[in-house]
């Protein structure tokens, strides 16, 4: 198994990238096969109480039109996605306290009736909330650590507590969620050592899903003038993660597509096996601007899925017909 120093060396050396991506692709094929899992993403509220320096949804950004979907709108959106064949619904939002434990449990239960897997991506909540969501039917939870460099974490996340984030991830695992985490690549002052530590952390946590994307500066944030993360470096971190963690689920992230118009296909050929198409009503999608030029899925979700299927076929991949758990017996 690769250790931290090996990973730093791989990240430094760009002469072997082609071999690295091929090895990650072989590992993906061996452990998770040629199917691609589609997860229908619903961005149900762009209201957030946190102030992450890189994110356009941060509380201090006043130059954004905030929205919150109603319970009915959320469920309807899930229904539409299920009709199109999605087997997993991802509910994502800013840290919006309007959505109490009870409200969320009601939404989860309603969507669960559609016979789909449910992933939550709604930030740090109490252990009791996490338990209640699980009991209501949620299967998976995404909470990126963003960076394991504690000092960098502090600079990037004013008023947030690194230890609490770790605690949340441990709780999620303990409660029995398939747990996803991940990091940003190319944050100001982020070292290659810290990226290697991020990968070691994913392994130590035994994460079930890992999302990795380049940092993209948003004009209405304190990092507006910072350079964006490097596409190839993000791809390398993702490829090494595949090689180290083997059988996990790894999305080709939208942020990759923003930097390279073929980004998600390249990611799928370098270790990724998941795509998360946005199934949110377009009028909301436009307002969920974590970073600028986020890929939109257009108005016609059926057409979008068909086009995707053709693209996948051209690289020898098919859309998975199951719910896509890491543990296939689930």
Which stretches of the chain bind ligand 5AD, using CB under 6 A? 54-55, 144, 146, 184, 213, 215-216, 218, 255, 290-291
Crossing angle of helices 192-205 and 162-175, rounded to 10°: 30
Of these partners, ligand 5AD, ligand SF4, none, which one is at the site of residue 216 (CB under 5 to 8 Å by kind)? ligand 5AD
Which residue in 3, 23, 55, 4 sits closest to 195, CA to CA?
4
Of these partners, ligand SF4, ligand 5AD, none, which one is at the site of residue 218 (CB under 5 to 8 Å by kind)? ligand 5AD
Q: Which of 28, 37, 58, 236 binds ligand SF4 (CB under 6 A)?
A: 58
Does 255 interact with ligand SF4 (rule: CB under 6 A)?
Answer: no
Distance CA 277, CA 298 (A): 10
Does 53 interact with ligand SF4 (rule: CB under 6 A)?
Answer: no
When the beta carbons of 52 and 205 are compared against ligand SF4, the nearer one is 52
DSSP, collapsed to helix, strand or coil, labels residue 260 as: coil
Residue keyed to tokens 């996340």: 157
Does 208 interact with ligand SF4 (rule: CB under 6 A)?
Answer: no
**Residue positions counted in the chain:** 330
Under 8 Å CB-to-CB from 9, ≥6 apart: which residues? none
Query: Maximum distance among all alpha carbons in the chain?
Result: 53
Of these partners, ligand SF4, ligand 5AD, none, which one is at the site of residue 291 (CB under 5 to 8 Å by kind)? ligand 5AD
Within residues 75-104, the interface with ligand SF4 by CB under 6 A covers: 94-95
Does 142 interact with ligand SF4 (rule: CB under 6 A)?
Answer: no
Distance CA 118, CA 159 (A): 30
Of these partners, ligand 5AD, ligand SF4, none, which one is at the site of residue 277 (CB under 5 to 8 Å by kind)? none
Which strand ranges, in their side-by-side order, compose the sheet holding 35-38?
274-275, 35-38, 318-319
Query: Which run of H or of E encompasses 234?
Result: helix 231-245
Q: Which stretch binds ligand SF4 (CB under 6 A): 45-53, 175-183, 186-194, 200-208?
A: 45-53
Distance CA 120, CA 319 (A): 22
Angle at 68 between CA 62 and CA 70, to 5 degrees: 165
Distance CA 54, CA 57 (A): 9
Of these partners, ligand SF4, ligand 5AD, none, which one is at the site of residue 134 (CB under 5 to 8 Å by kind)? none
Of these partners, ligand 5AD, ligand SF4, none, which one is at the site of residue 213 (CB under 5 to 8 Å by kind)? ligand 5AD
Q: Taking the complex as a whole, how short is the minimal distance between the CB of residue 158 and ligand 5AD, in angstroms?
A: 15
x-marked contacts with ligand SF4 along 115-134 as a string, rule CB under 6 A: --------x-----------
- Point out which residues bind ligand SF4 (CB under 6 A): 48, 50, 52, 55, 57-58, 94-95, 123
């Amino acid at each position: 198994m690769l250790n931290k120093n090996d990973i730093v060396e791989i990240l430094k050396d760009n002469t072997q990238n082609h071999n690295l991506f091929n090895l990650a692709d072989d590992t993906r094929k061996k452990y998770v096969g040629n199917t691609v899992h589609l997860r229908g993403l619903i961005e149900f509220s762009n209201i957030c109480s946190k102030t992450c320096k890189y994110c356009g949804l941060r509380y201090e950004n006043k130059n954004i039109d905030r929205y919150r979907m109603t319970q009915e709108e959320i469920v309807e959106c899930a229904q539409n996605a299920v009709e199109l064949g999605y087997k997993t619904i991802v509910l994502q939002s800013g840290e919006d306290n309007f959505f109490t434990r009870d409200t969320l449990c009601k939404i989860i239960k309603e969507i669960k009736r559609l016979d789909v897997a449910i992933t939550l991506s709604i930030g740090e909540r109490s252990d009791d909330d996490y338990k209640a969501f699980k009991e209501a039917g949620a299967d998976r939870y995404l909470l990126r650590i963003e960076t394991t460099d504690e000092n960098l974490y502090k600079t990037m996340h004013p008023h947030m507590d690194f230890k609490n984030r770790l605690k949340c991830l441990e709780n999620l695992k303990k409660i029995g969620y398939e747990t996803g985490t991940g990091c940003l690549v190319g944050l100001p002052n982020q070292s290659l050592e810290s990226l290697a530590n991020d990968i070691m952390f994913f392994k130590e946590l035994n994460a079930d899903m890992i999302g990795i994307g380049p940092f993209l500066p948003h004009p209405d944030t304190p990092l507006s003038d910072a350079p964006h993360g490097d596409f190839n470096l993000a791809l390398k971190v993702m490829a090494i993660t595949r090689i180290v963690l083997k059988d996990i689920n790894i999305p080709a992230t939208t942020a990759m597509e923003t930097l390279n118009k073929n980004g998600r296909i390249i990611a799928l050929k370098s270790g990724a096996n998941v795509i998360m198409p946005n199934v949110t009503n377009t009028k909301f999608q436009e307002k969920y601007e974590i970073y600028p030029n986020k890929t939109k899925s257009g108005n016609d979700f059926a057409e979008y899925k068909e086009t995707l299927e053709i693209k996948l076929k051209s690289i020898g991949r098919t859309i998975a017909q199951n719910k896509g758990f890491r543990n296939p017996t689930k």
